[in-house]
Structure formats: structure tokens, C-alpha cells
Amino acid sequence: MTSTKQGRPPRILSGIQPSGQLHIGNYLGALKQWVELQTQYDSFYCIVDLHAITVQQDPAALREGTRRNAGLYLACGLDPQHSTVFVQSHVPEHSELAWILGTFTPMGWLNRMTQFKDKTSKMQTESIGSGLYNYPILMAADILLYQADLVPVGDDQRQHLELTRDLAQRFNSIYGDTFTIPQTFTPKAGARVMGLDNPTAKMSKSESSDLHAINLLDTPDRIKKKMMRAVTDSGSEIRFSDLDERAGVNNLLTIYQAFTGESAEVIENHFVGKGYGDLKKAVAEVTVEGLRPIQERYQALTGEGGYIDEVLKRGAERAREVAHKTLRSVQERVGFLLP
Ligand code: TRP
């Protein structure tokens, strides 16, 4: 493990919202990489429930989703010995730092956020909560509180990372070195999984169509049914491709590759002379097999009464130690009378 200028191992932080079900896009694009990174970095992985309530949530479903996601983080291989796994709202420093950072964030910066524009383009202004507008500030607080060096996120979060860096730089230039400037980290092996029903858009938890995503807890039967109905095209060639009209087949091959670890060449050879039906069946099989150990671990973890809550409690304690130190130094610098 190499170390940073602060003389500690480089730190990683990332998070996923507990709204909706975790799916194979989250696993192959994020969680699987997090697991690999946890032994090389000081890792903080959170369940961002404060972000989830920027759109209305059913309280019972949110609570259940938070515990389920925590269980799935662990089932996917995050190990509390290596990673600090915690729930964002268990660490009140996130909200406190977000407020302070908000006072340093020009509205012009927020107005440029394309995710906000995308999310709200179909909403009435009256129904857009200001939390959704301020979402990137809270995300900056998540990252800066832990002095994270690296933030593994998908392309859709790059702009939020830029804003985080700008904010950290602005604060540092006014008050002196306070925050580590984080880098976006795109692990090479990460697979970008697209929606099965709409293969030109990234697989998403908030999509309502039942045929959009394979969830990590889907039964083998459901996995097969959904895969067999995945959108393809009218061609017949089974090859990787970056053409939009071939995005469906490319997506199936990407999933196959992520679960098997085989090279593109080996995979394409394997499917020579076969049809889309064979491809779908094969992708369903490797998906079922790939998820089986995760589902088994999940069942075992949830069977051990209280284990997940215990991990989250310890995670929040460790997270708070680090977060508290950063928040204190920020409060001091902006001139608060410390209690
Ligand atoms: N906005 C991120 C997403 O939707 C989730 C998130 C919140 C996050 N806070 C974070 C990701 C901090 C990385 C670091 O994907």
C-alpha cells in the first residue's frame, strides 16, 4: 500500500442510494471493483440515504432498502475488516458540512449540473425540492469529510466530482489547506451495464419497467425470464459493437464477459454460428451462477440476527471519528465558537 503526503494509505470513498433494488449494473460497475480496492486502500463505502430523500421515498421501503443494501454490500464481498461500511445519516457531520459548503457554492455552479437538469426536466418547478438542487453539495461533503483521495464513480458523476474539487479548492484558498482534493477514479475493469429494455441508457434503479434490470436478489427464474426478453436487433451477428443499433447484443456480451472474465475474442468465437436465443440463455446462466454465491451469503448474513446492524454501528463509529476531525477544523476556520 503506497501512502499519501499525509502519511496514511490513500483513501477511497463511494456511495450508492438505498432507493430501489441493487442490480447487476451496480455490482459489475461498482461493488465488484470496491471489493477489489478494499485491500489496497483505506476504504469508506456508504449508503446515501440523505441523498435518497431528495425525491420522495416511502419510509418503510427506505428503511428496508437501507438494511438490504448494507447486507448486499457485505454479501458482494465488502469486508468490515477492510472497509468502513456505514449509513450516511448515522454520521450527522455530513449534513453539517453540507450546510457550510453550501454557503460557498455559487448558484451558477449548481445551475450547470446536467444531472439536475435531466432529473427535473419533466417536473413542475413547484414540485422540485431544493434538496435535489443542493444534492451535489451534500455529495461534496460526503467526500471531503473523509479527505478522500479517490472516488470511484461512473461517468454520470464526473461533473459532481468536478464541483467537489472546485469547492475544496475555493475553501482551501480562503482558509488554508483544509481538504484533500479528490480524484475521480474509473477502475479499468468496470463494466458499464445498460438497461435490458433500453440498451442505450445505463441500467438504473429508478426505472419502473420490470424488464429493465436484473436485481441482485432476483431468483434464477426471473433472471432467465428477463434475459430472454432483453431488447436486441434484427441482425444475427454476435459481436461486440459500439453502434447504437447493436447496443442490446453488445450489452449482453458485456454482461457475459464481466461474469466470466473471458476475453472478447474467446467470447465471440464461442458464439460463432449461434443465435440470439442461445446468447440470451448463456448470459442468463452465467448471471445466475455469478449471483448465486452473493445470494447465499446474503441469506446467511440476514439469518444472523443483528449482524448487519452491528456492522453499521461499528462503521458509523469509525466514520464519525474521521468526519468529526474534519468538521471541527472547518468550524474553527470559518470562525464558529466551538462548544
Ligand atoms: N450521487 C451518487 C450517485 O448517484 C451517489 C453518491 C452520493 C456518491 N454521495 C457520494 C458517490 C459520494 C460517490 C461519493 O451515483
pLDDT tens per residue, range 125-137: 888 999 999 999 9
Please name the residue whose Cα sits nearest to atom 3 of ligand 1.
16
Distance 257 CA to ligand 1 centre (A): 26
Known active-site residue 188: no
34 closest CA partner among 75, 90, 93: 75
Known active-site residue 205: yes
Q: Is 167 in the pocket of ligand 1 (CB under 6 A)?
A: no
The atom of ligand 1 lying closest to the CA of 152 is 13
Task: Give me the catalytic one of 5, 117, 119, 122.
Answer: 119
Q: By the 8 A CB rule, do 22 and 215 touch?
A: yes
pLDDT tens per residue, range 234-269: 999 999 999 999 999 999 999 999 999 999 999 999
pLDDT tens per residue, range 262-302: 999 999 999 999 999 999 999 999 999 999 999 999 999 99
Query: Is 220-300 CATH 1.10.579.10?
Result: no
pLDDT, average across residues 310-337: 98
Please name the residue whose Cα sits nearest to atom 13 of ligand 1.
14
Q: Is 48 in the pocket of ligand 1 (CB under 6 A)?
A: yes
Known active-site residue 281: no
pTM, to two decimals: 0.95
pLDDT tens per residue, range 41-94: 999 999 999 999 999 999 999 999 999 999 999 999 999 999 999 999 999 999
pLDDT tens per residue, range 170-207: 999 999 999 999 999 877 767 899 999 999 999 999 88
Q: Is 14 in the pocket of ligand 1 (CB under 6 A)?
A: yes
Q: Is 13 in the pocket of ligand 1 (CB under 6 A)?
A: yes
Q: Assign domain 11-186+305-334 one CATH number from 2.40.128.110, 3.40.50.620, 2.120.10.30, 3.40.50.1980.
A: 3.40.50.620
Rounded distance between C-alpha atoms, residue 252 and residue 230, angstroms: 8
Distance 236 CA to ligand 1 centre (A): 38
- Type of residue found at 252: L
Domain boundaries, the chain: 11-186+305-334, 220-300
Q: By the 8 A CB rule, do 163 and 136 touch?
A: yes
pLDDT, average across residues 105-119: 95
Mean pLDDT of the chain: 95
Rounded distance between C-alpha atoms, residue 246 and residue 239, angstroms: 9
Q: By the 8 A CB rule, do 44 and 319 touch?
A: yes
Q: Is 217 in the pocket of ligand 1 (CB under 6 A)?
A: no
Q: In 186-338, at which residue ranges do the beta strands (DSSP E only) sit?
A: none
CA dihedral 283, 284, 288, 294 (to 10 degrees): 60
Distance 119 CA to ligand 1 centre (A): 15
Phi, psi (rounded to 5 degrees) for 140: -60, -40
Residue 107: Cβ within 10 Å count: 8
